[in-house]
Amino acid sequence: MIGDKKSSVLYVLDILKQYTDKEHSLTYNAIVEKLHSLYGIEVERRTVARDIDILLDKNYDIVKKGNNGVCLIQRDFEEGELLYLIDAIYSSRSMPTKYARDLANKLTKNFSIYEKKKFNHLEKIDDGVRTDNKQLFLNIEILNDAIENGKKVEFQYGAYDFDKVLKPKKDGKVYKVNPYYLVNNHGKYYLVCNNDKYDNIGNYKIDNILNIKILDEDIKQLKSLPGQNDFSIKKYLSEHIYMMAGKSISAKLKILDEERVNDVVDWFGKDIYLKKDSEGNSNVLLNVNEDALIFWAMQYGKSVEVLEPQETRAKIRALLEDMIQRYSN
């Protein structure tokens, strides 16, 4: 039985996407066979030739080769672009394993079966460190809608218990917040927002959010909060490198190992001020969340010293003394 000739062009395009690329082509006869084996459509060779001409008229980048061989060159992404996107997906710990694989498959859908093999080595899923909150994409969608429409949201906030199960914290307490931004920080997604009871800015991990809903209440405008008239999300992220809440301070650091200057720029960005002291050490002046700085300074303690402010130095010293006491037994 001859298939619907008008619809066969879409199936021909699908076959070209799956089975051809710049290094692999199909003859018209091979396409006729695949139309029959894959879709149950029976067409003549001249119908395939007509479909190819229709696709060419629609500006598809199809190359005709010898002996009636054809291949589709055009793709939605360049190979390097797709490598980067898939790597970003598998690097994100916020995304459940199944969703990461499904999303990567969607991105490679229009690549040939031969090209898809090039992306297999990128998969680096470790279930032990990935979220299992299947509400992640729904949370992102709802929060995006709320931000776009300027509405408050309510949700419960979860934490993992001893049995490694994500459960609502504080006996199921409901948080009402004013959502402003969704950000990706070191492979985790966060909501930057204001808890409706307070006047400060806070953060919530989106994959820990449970049972979210949009309220029919307009948000507090971000610029109406105390001290936030000139709020900049870029500045906020450079100061809150671990997305910790709390105050930001002006700090001065001494870099004892010159190679660590690269790490400072990696973490805090290029808006920091670098200068040499009289001994040739690199000093860094920056604004940063205090808790994040303490945490960071502990990580890079062998090659970094916090010089100012003195209050922060004292907190680091007290923390170190406590650790020494604990590890001396």
Q: Work out the average pLDDT over 219-225.
A: 95
pLDDT of the residue at 322: 94
- The answer on pLDDT for 61 being more than 70 is yes
127 vs 150, higher pLDDT: 150
Provide the CATH topology of domain 136-229: SH3 type barrels. (2.30.30)
Least confident of 57-71, 99-113, 208-222, 278-292: 99-113
CB burial string 287-312: b at 16+ within 10 A, e below: ebbbbbbbebbeebeeebbbeeeeeb
pLDDT of the residue at 89: 75
Per-residue pLDDT of 247-273, as tens digits, reads 889 999 999 888 888 888 888 888 889
C-alpha distances in Å from residue 138, one per residue of 70, 107, 145, 214, 318:
42, 19, 11, 12, 43
pLDDT of the residue at 120: 62
Domain ranges (residues) in the chain: 5-72, 79-129, 136-229, 248-327
pTM above 0.85, yes or no: no
pLDDT band at 111 (very low <50, low <70, confident <90, very high): confident
Contacts 24+ apart (CB under 8 A), 304-312: 304/253, 304/254, 304/255, 304/256, 304/260, 304/264, 305/253, 305/254, 305/256, 306/251, 306/252, 306/253, 307/252, 307/253, 307/254, 307/283, 308/250, 308/251, 308/252, 309/249, 309/250, 309/251, 312/249, 312/251
- Please state, as a whole number, how many other Cβ atoms lie within 10 Å of the Cβ of residue 54: 13
Average pLDDT in the chain: 86
What architecture does CATH give domain 5-72?
Orthogonal Bundle (1.10)
Q: What distance in Å separates the CA atoms of residue 197 and residue 176, rounded to the nearest whole number? A: 8
- The answer on pLDDT for 63 being more than 70 is yes
pLDDT of the residue at 131: 62
Q: What distance in Å separates the CA atoms of residue 280 and residue 178, rounded to the nearest whole number? A: 47
Which residue shows structure tokens 């923390």?
319
Q: Work out the average pLDDT over 68-90.
A: 78
Q: Does domain 248-327 have CATH number 3.30.70?
A: yes
pLDDT band at 188 (very low <50, low <70, confident <90, very high): confident
85 vs 146, higher pLDDT: 146
pLDDT of the residue at 242: 84
Least confident of 64-68, 275-279, 308-312: 64-68
What are the tokens at 126?
């470790």
- The answer on pLDDT for 133 being more than 70 is no
Per-residue pLDDT of 7-34, as tens digits, reads 789 999 999 998 998 888 999 999 999 9
Q: Work out the average pLDDT over 219-243.
A: 90
pLDDT of the residue at 97: 73
Q: Nearest Cα to 261, choosing from 290, 284, 234?
A: 284
Q: Work out the average pLDDT over 182-200.
A: 88
Q: What distance in Å separates the CA atoms of residue 288 and residue 239, rounded to the nearest whole number? A: 4
